[in-house]
Amino acid sequence: MALGPVMLGLEGLTLTVEEHEILKHPLVGGVILFTRNYQSLEQMMALTDAVHALRQPRLLIAVDHEGGRVQRFREGFTRLPAVRQLGEIHDQDPLRAKQLARVTGWLMAAELRAVGVDFSFAPVLDLDHGVSGIIGDRAFHHDPEVVADLAHAYVSGMQKAGMEAVGKHFPGHGGIAADSHLELPVDPRPYVDLAATDLLAFERMIHYGLAALMPAHVLYPQVDDRPAGFSVRWLKEILRQHLEFQGVIFSDDLDMAGAQEAGTPPERARAALMAGCDMALACNDRQAAVAILDHLVQKPDPVSQVRLIRLHGRGHPSLKRLHYHPAWQKAVRLVQDYDAFPLLEMDI
């Protein structure tokens, strides 16, 4: 069975009878996990094993695990600092900041891979223009070249641990104050201004081979009359054709207020996929997710299949093996205090 174009949230700590059936639906391609799905390392391994056992190829399992404010699993995991700290270090010591970014990306990915998670929706590639509370310290920096340098190092660490990256929120959510979870933000800047600033970090990361991107639920009216995640111009013309991006495009959560412009849940999913997304996310509203599965008509796309399969995690070290590994022990100490230890002995 092919991976379908819909990613769903789960209700709790184990799969329900209903979820066993829903996840076998041909339109489903993955699940996204939240804090409500996490109790312990052992419980998480049992949950991811249960999801992966349902189908072949196995469903993708994702989570938002950036560090700072956005880290869904905490007890039993290393508390990751907000990536802004890496940007602040970069202002004083660029080489050290990039080395730290690589170690941090490796540690985040290694811990998630050890419990069976395929990938994290990270890193954030938005710029911090000083106006967006929802982005804020989730951004590495305000300079797109610094963001790209740190993100490149961070992603290389993720890949070393067997995980591909998902950059977000294309073409940039940092230039407006509104929060797309609560409303549809409108960024009035023309394309030429976006291309000279926010888009640069995404362009650099695409050049470095970024495996996946997530567009923003943000309207840029001087570019198109649809929000980026539902825009053929942004996704097919600018991202695919002009920037030559070949990876996966995920929609942002279709349950967010910023997505309501596109209509009912099935209409939102259809609009996102028609605009160019490979997979649409329905994270927190089970009724809406079921409506999407009941009403969406979508034939498998062989090109999307190739892109999505690339996101399966590589390797699956046991937690015990990971925790005894000197590299993990050093990385934990380093990430808990970026200033305390030299990096010369870090083999990551």
What residues does each domain of the chain span? 6-336
Give the model's confidence band at 267: pLDDT under 50 very low, under 70 low, under 90 confident, else very high.
Answer: very high
CATH of 6-336, picked from 3.20.20.300, 3.40.50.300, 3.40.50.1980, 2.40.10.480, is: 3.20.20.300
- For residues 62 and 121, the answer to whether their CB atoms sit within 8 Å is yes
The pLDDT value given to residue 232: 97
Does residue 84 surpass a pLDDT of 80?
yes
The pLDDT value given to residue 24: 96
Give pLDDT tens digits for 155-197.
999 999 999 999 999 999 998 887 778 788 899 999 999 999 9
Q: Is 166 helix (H, G, I), strand (E, B) or coil?
A: strand
DSSP strands (E only) in the chain: 6-9, 28-33, 60-63, 65-67, 70-71, 119-120, 166-170, 212-215, 248-253, 279-282
Q: Output the pTM of the full model.
A: 0.95
The pLDDT value given to residue 241: 97
* Rounded (5°) CA angle 277-35-69: 80
Give the model's confidence band at 342: pLDDT under 50 very low, under 70 low, under 90 confident, else very high.
Answer: low
Does residue 345 surpass a pLDDT of 60?
no
Does residue 115 surpass a pLDDT of 60?
yes
Q: Give the DSSP H/E element, type plus range, for residue 307.
A: helix 302-309
User: Would you name the residues annotated as active-site residues?
Assistant: 181, 252
Give the model's confidence band at 332: pLDDT under 50 very low, under 70 low, under 90 confident, else very high.
Answer: very high
Cα distance between residue 282 and residue 187, in whole Å: 25
Give pLDDT tens digits for 32-81.
999 999 999 999 999 999 999 999 999 999 999 999 999 999 999 999 99
Cα Dmax for the chain:
56
Q: What percent of the chain has pLDDT over 90?
A: 81
Q: Calculate the average pLDDT of the chain.
A: 93
The pLDDT value given to residue 63: 98
Higher-confidence residue: 318 or 200?
200
The pLDDT value given to residue 132: 85
